Structure 1
């Protein structure tokens, strides 16, 4: 896969009151190093007039998503383990628990398709069962790639 990629992420934001699917499509950079996939991309945060820098690290049965900027969080998705972290927002901190039930990752020469299913707790209260879908595709073939 090339360094310049298009990243499509669906279902990542924590919108407790909203049932509408959330999808972000943005340009990013892809790297493969030490048997790990890395994806870097920026996200414009409308409500805060800021930018969040994001990094996704994919290894065997483990996915990490790090957000820094107007909000900060280090989410760890690992099947069979519940991971706790603080989600730091301009409005205060939330303790979130991530109980991952399934991770699937399909790789091809020009794309990666990642799906994560997990339970989400906020301040030790179960909020919902969630899913994240991430598609990473080379910019030059992004419109042609289907998995």
Structure 2
């Protein structure tokens, strides 16, 4: 069997996700979530998948991080549908679907660091977000991935 034919293994992982949102000079609004997910090595990098919970307000949504070189793509499907592309020093625009309609979202990534491998690791992304071209704040999230 060649490496391309090898079935890709979805490795069970424990995720610790900390998100912070900064608005003007107000203390950051932080959320921390511990959840289970899967880590999969792909041709282009890594794929991290987990289910959102009531804690994040996105119950019924599957979140996927595709890590490919200097770019990370975050896709959510289910109760919330969106795609955000993070690439340090670049801006990407995408649509964010909500039950109330679609919004244009600009993501400007200031920092993207990770040491993820099939053994786990840490990923940190800092970015500002503009909804309908109006900056609504700065965000940061740090995801720790541990093999189960």
Which bracket does the TM-score occupy, shorter chain normalised?
A: 0.7 to 0.9
Alignment of 1:1-147 (within 5 A): 3-11=11-19, 19-45=28-54, 50-107=59-116, 110-139=119-148
| SS of residue in 2 equivalent to 1:10 | strand
The alpha-carbon deviation at position 135 of structure 1 amounts to: 1.2
| Counterpart position of 2:3 | none
| Partner SS for 1:11 | strand
Cα 1:127–1:137 shift into 2, 3 Å? same
Displacement of 1:49: 8.3
Count of residue pairs brought into register by the alignment: 138
Q: Aligned equivalents of 1:126 and 1:48: distance in 2?
A: 22
Length-normalised TM-score, structure 2: 0.81
Q: Deviations over 1:95-130 (max 9, x none)?
A: 111001111112466322000111110110011121
The answer as to whether partners of 1:29 and 1:41 remain within 8 angstroms in 2 is yes
Residues 115, 66 of structure 1: CA spacing in aligned structure 2 closer, same or farther, 3 A cutoff? same
Q: Is the 8 A contact 1:55 1:67 kept in 2?
A: yes
The separation in 2 between residues aligned to 1:62 and 1:83, in whole angstroms, is 11
- Give the Cα–Cα distance (whole angstroms) in 2 for the partners of residues 123 and 86 of structure 1: 10
The runs of 5 or more residues in structure 1 that have no matched partner are 140-147
Using the TM superposition, give the Cα deviation of residue 57 of structure 1 relative to its aligned residue in structure 2, in angstroms. 0.7
**What is the root-mean-square deviation in Å for CA atoms of aligned residues?**
2.6
**TM-score when normalising by structure 1:** 0.81
1:44 positional shift = 2.2
Q: 1:2 touches 1:110 (CA, 8 Å); kept in 2?
A: no
